[in-house]
């Protein structure tokens, strides 16, 4: 749990932002340490690097969780994978290295989920892509994907002959974290104020935005 939290606390958005912007990406755009804000403020190359890092730390946490539960604790490794994933996501959202101000955990969750349940992730990824490219709004795709993930997990578990209840409960926790972290986006979506592709917030520091 500690390893996964510390791994998740490595904020690639902040690190890549400092590399490309020579500044903290959290001062710009949505002030969020996530791939979408990096894309808007630092460009595509920076966003790709951020995405790879965030996905990778989710995956690595799952691998470590499985190994510890299977070979050291001799417990069902699936639960170790979920526990490690949750801790990595919490690290991403509340990074100890960056004053506990991180991102929303979508890509870290996706990286973990890919190794835990690749079939469910593949289906929800298609849903995400359809919603995002239709609406041009990443946050809408993320929220819809999170809502669908437990439902998809339940039916995929049934189809593969697994007990759907514990896996669906774990998926619900995943979804709840993502939806909670998107609560401000949901408010903007309801008000019709959420930015879509190609629409950039003015790149000025947060304190200057407050004065303007």
Please provide the average confidence, as pLDDT, over all residues in the chain: 89
Task: List C-alpha distances in Å: 26 to 7, 16, 210.
Answer: 20, 12, 14
Is pLDDT at 209 greater than 80 in this prediction?
Answer: no
Average pLDDT of the segment spanning 5-34:
93
- pLDDT score of 200: 52
Do 63 and 138 sit in the same domain of this protein? no
Domain assignment of residue 166, given as a range: 117-198
Domain assignment present for residue 207? The answer is no
180-198 per-position pLDDT tens digit:
999 998 999 999 888 776 5
Domain assignment present for residue 42? The answer is yes
- The reply to whether the predicted model has a pTM over 0.75 is yes
Is pLDDT at 204 greater than 70 in this prediction?
Answer: no
Domain total in the chain: 2
């Amino acid at each position: 749990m500690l390893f996964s939290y510390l791994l998740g606390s490595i904020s690639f958005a902040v690190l890549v932002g400092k590399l490309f912007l020579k500044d903290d990406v959290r001062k710009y755009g949505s002030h969020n340490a996530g791939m979408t804000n990096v894309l808007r403020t630092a460009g595509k190359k920076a966003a790709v690097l951020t995405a790879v890092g965030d996905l990778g730390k989710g995956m690595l946490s799952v691998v470590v969780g499985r190994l510890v539960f299977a070979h050291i604790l001799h417990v069902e490794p699936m639960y170790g994978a979920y526990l490690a994933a949750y801790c990595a996501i919490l690290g991403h959202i509340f990074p100890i290295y960056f004053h506990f101000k991180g991102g929303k955990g979508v890509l870290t969750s996706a990286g973990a989920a890919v190794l835990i349940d690749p079939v469910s992730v593949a289906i929800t990824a298609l849903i995400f892509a359809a919603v995002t490219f239709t609406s041009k709004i990443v946050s809408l795709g993320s929220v819809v994907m999170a809502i669908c993930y437990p439902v998809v997990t339940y039916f995929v578990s049934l189809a593969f002959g697994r007990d759907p209840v514990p896996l669906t409960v774990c998926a619900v926790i995943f979804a709840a974290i993502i939806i909670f972290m998107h609560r401000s986006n949901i408010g903007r979506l309801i008000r019709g104020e959420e930015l879509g592709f190609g629409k950039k917030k003015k790149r000025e520091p947060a304190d200057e935005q407050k004065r303007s």
